[in-house]
A and B are shown apart, each in its own frame.
Chain A
Amino acid sequence: MQATIVEAVKDALHTEMAADDDVVVFGEDVAESGGVFRATDGLLEEFGEDRVVDTPLSEIAIVGAATGLAMYGYRPVAEIQFSGFLPPAFDQLVTNASRIRWRTRGALSAPMVVRMPYGAGVRALEHHSESMEGAYAHIPGLKVVAPSTPHDTKGLLLASIRDPDPVLFMEPKRIYRSFRDDVPEEDYEVPLGEAAVRREGSDLTVVSWGSMMPPTLDAADEADADVEVIDLRTISPMDTETVVESVKKTGRAVVVHEGPRSHGVGGDIVAHINDEALMYLEAPVERVTGFDTPVPLLSMEDYYFPHPPRILDAIEDALSV
């Protein structure tokens, strides 16, 4: 079927709830109204109020109770309405979800998913625009996933729900409905921890993920060079091998992400390239990122986002050395 990213989320949830009775979906406004982005639409009617639950406005309890449910043998899929409202629950991710397996030497675990739309571009109020994957990827024991296509969204979400460890599933809401692609009706997984090469090339490697993939691919198309584009798909644990092998081939790299520049995932990717492919580099690795500021409110939000000309500029810089 042809589906958007948000429809692929819905399809994955329907698929897994039908396949596994232990899957429970909950969060604010997810049941009766089907979610503010309609990602959980129809689940209540199909699976009933024991398994599809509208919770109180309590992010700490949503994430903490998901952890408890998971420890007890369920497969919770919790929704945080916007990623800007995860911070209250950061404590539960750091203190509990990510450490249950480690703390109990594997006697207990927390196989759970926290889904949330992230990123700028929907012209909402403050706290509706952030990309904080860098902060979340910094938590040992937590997996962080960010799909960029409808096909991957379904496959990655199914793999995340079935994963033995907690997964933070970051949905690029800017492109929730911006295009459709072919999403198989059947059950399939896209494995966590595997990047995808979206475009093969020999001159330069661009690494990105999530909402930054469309502008990255646009910039690659425009570049006067043979650009390879890697979609990381899983931010943690990271598929460094695909990145490093590509850079060994091209000798040049650009990393693109929406979140702030400093202390972010981009810096970490550069470090991996330095560790394993320094001698292959012909130019310093460029980063194209959000600024080290809060995302501007909606009147100036457009400025924050790395648009294709900014990415192209970095590509040309890296090629000019």
Chain B
Amino acid sequence: MSENEPTEHPANATVSAGEPRFLTQDDLSVDTHQVVAPDGSYDADEVPDLDDEQFQDLYRWMLTDRVFSKRMVNIQRRGELGTFGSTRGQEASIIGSAYTLQPDDWLYVGRAWTPMFMRGVPMKDMIMFWRGIEEGQQSFAEHNCQIAISIGSHLPLVAGLAWGMDLSGDDAIATAYLGDGATSTGAAHEAINFAGALEVPALFYCQNNQYAISLSAEEQTGANTLAQKALAYGMDAIRVDGQDVLAVYEAVNEARKRVRNGEPVFVESVTYRMDAHTTSDDPTRYRSDEEVDAWEDADPLERYREFLRAEGLWDDIDHDAIEAEIDAEFDAALEEANAFEERGVEEIFAHVYAELPPDLQRQSEEFSDLLERRPELYDYIEQRPKG
């Protein structure tokens, strides 16, 4: 034929006549990776290759996550924080994944705070973040991590960070933690497709904790799983039992290896948000006690303790002592955060641009002047570094 002849597309390799066949979700079978079963049983050959210290480390971080959430919810109730999103129930999902990350990797999280501590962010800065003090985020940035408040907005950023790593030939990956709700945003879809098309070292770690505020994961999408969404974008995916820290660790560790080679991966971790969405949410409006109780029985710490007992590692772990240490760390962090000094009003104008434009400079000066001339303004203004 002429030179206009279309190039052969692999999709044309097999053609079929007759009734068109629908591709259905059932064409796809999506397994959920698991190492330790809910009853604590496991196959010793399937356990990931970690040493005793690492097994203990995982427990310590999971406990850190639980204690941190508990303490934060408590101080919020005492009026010492604006709001807070607890991660109780998601400890295996959060720690198993973050444990695979390397110091040069970048991390952009949804509901996952302890991974930032694992990267060296002081607890004090996380407390400050939830108190609405900008310096908290400055500290996060110094440790290559950030929290995205606008759901899904961070995924394109992660694609770009990964692109930069690829261009620079760096030994690092960029990771986005996202929720089930986030998979419905336009930004997420564009970013996952973009990363898949450009083959950049991006890892999309989706914690399907069954809810986006009041909306259940079943109502969030007609898809059987969230993992399968990645396939449409040419990206491989893993679905993992998010209550099983070893399964999560193994899945994300394998994923990270691929990602490092320029093959982005999407991981869906099936987990549960035990507490309210934030301290201002009332979950009894949209979910039953029975459902919550059933997930309480799938407690990730308890499942892991079963494993540690079976391995004979539990005897070396002094749970109470570790908990006391974490509590002490929190106490110290809180004290440090409480010591944070009030800032001058010029802080409001700082960092909007690299250089303060003249008009903004004028606004800053006029406002400082006004505060001096009209101290009654302080009847309306309270700086609240303590939440």
Query: Taking beta carbons and an 8 Å cutoff, which residues of A are in contact with B?
Result: 28-29, 32-34, 36, 54, 56-61, 84-85, 87-88, 123-128, 261-262, 291-294, 296-305, 307-310, 312-313
A123 to B76 Cα, complex, angstroms: 12
B350: min CB distance to chain A, Å: 9
B380 within 8 A of A: yes
Q: Which residue of B82, B150, B387 is within 8 Å of A127 (Cβ)? A: B150
Interface stretch, picked from B210-218, B232-240, B249-257, is B210-218
Q: Which residue of B lies closest to A36 (CB)?
A: B213
The answer to whether B214 and A261 have CB atoms under 8 Å apart is: no
Complex contacts, B380 vs chain A, CB 8 Å: 302, 305, 307-309
With A34-B285, A126-B149, A309-B374: A292-B360 Cβ-Cβ less than 8 Å: yes
Q: Which residue of B lies closest to A57 (CB)?
A: B181
- Interface members, chain B 117-142 (any A CB < 8 Å): 131-134
CB pairs A–B below 8 angstroms (24 shown): A29-B213, A33-B214, A33-B282, A58-B184, A58-B185, A58-B186, A60-B186, A84-B150, A88-B150, A88-B187, A123-B132, A291-B360, A292-B352, A292-B363, A293-B352, A297-B134, A298-B132, A302-B382, A302-B384, A303-B367, A305-B380, A307-B377, A307-B380, A313-B373
Q: Which residue of B lies closest to A33 (CB)?
A: B214
The answer to whether A299 and B374 have CB atoms under 8 Å apart is: no
The answer to whether B131 and A299 have CB atoms under 8 Å apart is: yes
Number of A-B contacts (CB under 8 A): 139
Q: Mark B248-292, 1 if CB is under 8 A from A, else 0.
A: 000000000000000000000000000000001110011000000
With A56-B215, A307-B377, A309-B376: A296-B221 Cβ-Cβ less than 8 Å: no
A307 to B376 Cα, complex, angstroms: 10
With A33-B285, A54-B215, A57-B151: A88-B186 Cβ-Cβ less than 8 Å: yes
- Interface members, chain B 358-385 (any A CB < 8 Å): 359-360, 363-364, 367, 370, 373-374, 376-377, 379-385
The answer to whether A301 and B214 have CB atoms under 8 Å apart is: no
Q: Which residue of A lies closest to B280 (CB)?
A: A36
- Top 10 closest A-B pairs, CB basis? A298-B132, A297-B132, A56-B184, A33-B214, A307-B380, A57-B181, A302-B381, A60-B186, A309-B374, A299-B132
Complex contacts, B382 vs chain A, CB 8 Å: 302
A307 to B345 Cα, complex, angstroms: 15
With A296-B348, A310-B377: A32-B133 Cβ-Cβ less than 8 Å: no
Complex contacts, A262 vs chain B, CB 8 Å: 359
With A56-B221, A126-B149: A298-B360 Cβ-Cβ less than 8 Å: no
A98 to B348 Cα, complex, angstroms: 35
A198 to B187 Cα, complex, angstroms: 43
The answer to whether B185 and A59 have CB atoms under 8 Å apart is: yes
A298 to B80 Cα, complex, angstroms: 12
A87 to B152 Cα, complex, angstroms: 12
Q: Which residue of B lies closest to A295 (CB)?
A: B348
B225 within 8 A of A: no
Q: Which residue of B131, B149, B150, B213 is within 8 Å of A298 (Cβ)? A: B131
B39: min CB distance to chain A, Å: 33
